[in-house]
Chain A
Amino acid sequence: MKAFHTFCVVLLVFGSVSEAKFDDFEDEEDIVEYDDNDFAEFEDVMEDSVTESPQRVIITEDDEDETTVELEGQDENQEGDFEDADTQGDTESEPYDDEEFEGYEDKPDTSSSKNKDPITIVDVPAHLQNSWESYYLEILMVTGLLAYIMNYIIGKNKNSRLAQAWFNTHRELLESNFTLVGDDGTNKEATSTGKLNQENEHIYNLWCSGRVCCEGMLIQLRFLKRQDLLNVLARMMRPVSDQVQIKVTMNDEDMDTYVFAVGTRKALVRLQKEMQDLSEFCSDKPKSGAKYGLPDSLAILSEMGEVTDGMMDTKMVHFLTHYADKIESVHFSDQFSGPKIMQEEGQPLKLPDTKRTLLFTFNVPGSGNTYPKDMEALLPLMNMVIYSIDKAKKFRLNREGKQKADKNRARVEENFLKLTHVQRQEAAQSRREEKKRAEKERIMNEEDPEKQRRLEEAALRREQKKLEKKQMKMKQIKVKAM
């Protein structure tokens, strides 16, 4: 049954293909009336071709051999017809018969003298040759597509293996620290799925929850797009690393109010521009951490010196120095609200919601050429994360620090209100005008003239009252000023 179907399809395709070729033939200048009588048709063609068009070439060989006729747009199937027409008493062919027996060398002369036209031997164009070689571009394209598909499968598998290797290495540590390891939010009960959520072919999520101090921890494995061939080629120019991003949401009572970041200089500069809280609270440029024993590659952004002193204890410094090549950025903040949002014009915004969070971004070693065993190198970094969570709970600012922090936050809020003040005023003004307009319309639409008059009077009275109130206020202010 299937073979029959494929046979039908193939027939259809060939039918349409040959139909297309017939189209070409018919479109040409010498449009021949297509008769059932094949001979009549080709007789006419032969006469016309001999006398009129010099481009059409008729090369005839010995009668015993097969006559090969080469005409533009002609199929080889029609050869047979020509042969028949040739040998079946065509008056034109008789002179040829005489000359043919004279031998080969005379043939070109005689045929040329007969035709009075130069014979041009035309090369059969590539697109008429029925060989696979002429389709080399198509074959190239299909090979390219196949290569893309192969790369997709290989890349996807590699990413998935890396993710699994990471999870296997870290599973024990996570399970000993969190009740819920792995949740995709769909189950009715809060049970650990024990699996990563695959968001994409290159992004894997893991949600852990159920620990002291923190609400939860979201780990995101952001691998390179190994499934996309273009990306793979681009990466050959510019090596990039896989990244592991960890976001710990802290309870409100378990973290004091400060903003602090440590990381590579490039990463900190970028974060300072992008992140709302870092740009507002840490206005200085990233400072070197050499004072605390950090390597040169790392820099510090902090709200207050006291915070840096408190954060950079020996164990933290030990972590940072030993694994400096894998750390991209570490960001603790009580005012974290994500990257800066581009505000639309004329829309007064409230201050974005803030959450106390610890953010970590680590680079997987190997800078692109990672193997599953490289994931073990990241385990100490997870230890650092756990340590940081406990430390954030323990670390408290002293009185001075707290006052400074509160002042900073009040200042930021005030600035924000000032910026949006104009916009909020405009919004209020427009609302008032809308109300007035609605009232006027109501009055106009009122059909009863009596009612109309009464409403108008009521509106007038209201306006007068307002004016009076304003005047009273001004007077009061003047009196107070005096």
Chain B
Amino acid sequence: MSTNNMSDPRRPNKVLRYKPPPSECNPALDDPTPDYMNLLGMIFSMCGLMLKLKWCAWVAVYCSFISFANSRSSEDTKQMMSSFILTPLSCLRLSISAVVMSYLQNPQPMTPPW
């Protein structure tokens, strides 16, 4: 059965379902930004909490925001509960708690380094 230009090119009997591409190695290859920012955020918030440095805590909040904005594949979480979204949220919580704790312990404003 040949198809000429006038006839309908659609073939309902040849429909293939969409298969999401296998994502074992892809996430790591695509873009490491959210992972780096996550790690940085965790480190800075720990520093801020332990060493009572306010600027560390603020940088941690920024890092967790950036990580959240760059996070990948919002669909997976509904199905797989993977760590893609869980870690950015936990980083955000940790960094906000670092900021709040450092202000409760020492309510004085930050001094600029200059």
Contacts and interface: CB of A to CB of B under 8 A. Distances in A.
Contact of A200 (B62, B73, B106, B107): B73
B68 to A, nearest CB: 9
Interface string B3-33: 1000001111011111110000100000000
Interface in B36-93: 58, 61-62, 65-66, 69-75
Across the A-B interface, give the 8 residue pairs with the lowest CB-CB distance, nearest first: A127-B108, A207-B18, A210-B15, A183-B18, A185-B18, A135-B109, A137-B110, A228-B69
Contacts of A16: 104
Contact of B72 (A144, A145, A185, A200): A200
A212 B9 contact: yes
Interface in A202-235: 207, 209-212, 215-216, 218, 225, 227-231
A17 interface: yes
A25 interface: no
B10 A211 contact: yes
Contacts, number: 101
Given A185-B17, A200-B71, A209-B17, 19 more contacts: A17-B104, A20-B105, A148-B69, A152-B69, A179-B12, A179-B15, A185-B20, A190-B17, A197-B75, A198-B75, A201-B69, A207-B18, A209-B15, A209-B18, A210-B10, A211-B10, A215-B16, A225-B70, A231-B70
Given A190-B17, A227-B69, A228-B69, A212 B11 contact: yes
A144 B15 contact: no
Nearest to B58: A141
A177 interface: yes
A180 interface: yes
Contact of A211 (B14, B19, B70, B108): B14
Nearest to B79: A186
Contact of B15 (A13, A17, A177, A190): A190
12 contacts: A126-B109, A137-B112, A141-B61, A145-B62, A145-B65, A149-B65, A179-B15, A200-B72, A210-B14, A216-B18, A218-B18, A341-B25
Contact of B109 (A138, A177, A201, A216): A138
A136 B65 CA distance: 21
Q: Which of B11, B17, B62 has the most CB of A within 10 A?
A: B17
A48 interface: no
A137 B55 CA distance: 10
Nearest to B74: A200
A420 B59 CA distance: 49
Interface of A: 13, 16-17, 20, 126-128, 134-138, 141, 144-145, 148-149, 152, 176-180, 183-185, 190, 197-201, 207, 209-212, 215-216, 218, 225, 227-231, 341
Contacts of B11: 179, 210-212
A177 B9 contact: yes
Contacts of B75: 184, 197-199
Nearest to B61: A145
Nearest to B107: A17
A195 to B, nearest CB: 12
Contacts of A148: 62, 65, 69
Given A211-B9, A211-B10, A144 B62 contact: yes
Given A141-B58, A198-B74, A199-B74, A230 B66 contact: yes
Nearest to B25: A341
Nearest to B106: A20
Nearest to A20: B107
A285 to B, nearest CB: 26
B45 to A, nearest CB: 15
B2 to A, nearest CB: 10
Contacts of B70: 225, 228, 231
Nearest to A129: B109
Contacts of A229: 69
A128 B108 CA distance: 7
Nearest to B68: A152
A147 B104 CA distance: 25
B61 to A, nearest CB: 7
A126 B10 CA distance: 75
A70 B14 CA distance: 88
Contacts of A135: 109
Contacts of B112: 137
A197 B73 CA distance: 11
